[in-house]
């Protein structure tokens, strides 16, 4: 009986669908987040974004020299990370 319980538990966990990251066009990123991204990384031309499964937006672009820059923002506008 114990083995059956473990097998059912493993099957349930293995079959769950974890939310995936979603690739977004820049126009789908909330305006308040784009404003913050432009303030924190002036001179960067943002061209793509990802909404991660935890709700964090990763906004990606290039600076004047062509270096890729990224900023991660919470939905509320808090800066999580700048690269």
How high is the pLDDT of residue 12? 53
Q: What is the pLDDT of residues 34-57, one digit of tens each?
A: 999 999 999 999 999 999 999 999
Q: ∠ at Cα 67 (44, 30), nearest 5°?
A: 35
- For 62, how many CA atoms within 13 A lie in the half-sphere containing its CB? 5
| Residue-range domain boundaries for the chain | 19-82
Give the DSSP letter of residue 36.
H
Distance CA(34)–CA(69), nearest Å, equals 14
How high is the pLDDT of residue 29? 97
Are 55 and 15 in contact, with CB atoms under 8 Å apart? Answer: no
Find the helix or strand (DSSP H, E) in which 48 lies.
Answer: strand 45-51
How high is the pLDDT of residue 13? 52
Where the chain has pLDDT below 70, the residues are 1-18
- Entry pTM: 0.76
């Amino acid at each position: 009986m114990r083995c059956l319980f473990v097998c059912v538990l493993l099957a349930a966990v293995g079959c769950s669908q974890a939310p995936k990251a979603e690739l977004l066009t820049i126009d789908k990123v909330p305006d308040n987040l784009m404003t913050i991204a432009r303030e924190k990384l002036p001179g960067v031309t943002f061209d793509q974004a990802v909404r991660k499964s935890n709700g964090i937006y990763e906004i990606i672009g290039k600076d004047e020299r062509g270096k890729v820059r990224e900023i991660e923002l919470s939905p509320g506008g808090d800066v999580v990370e700048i690269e």
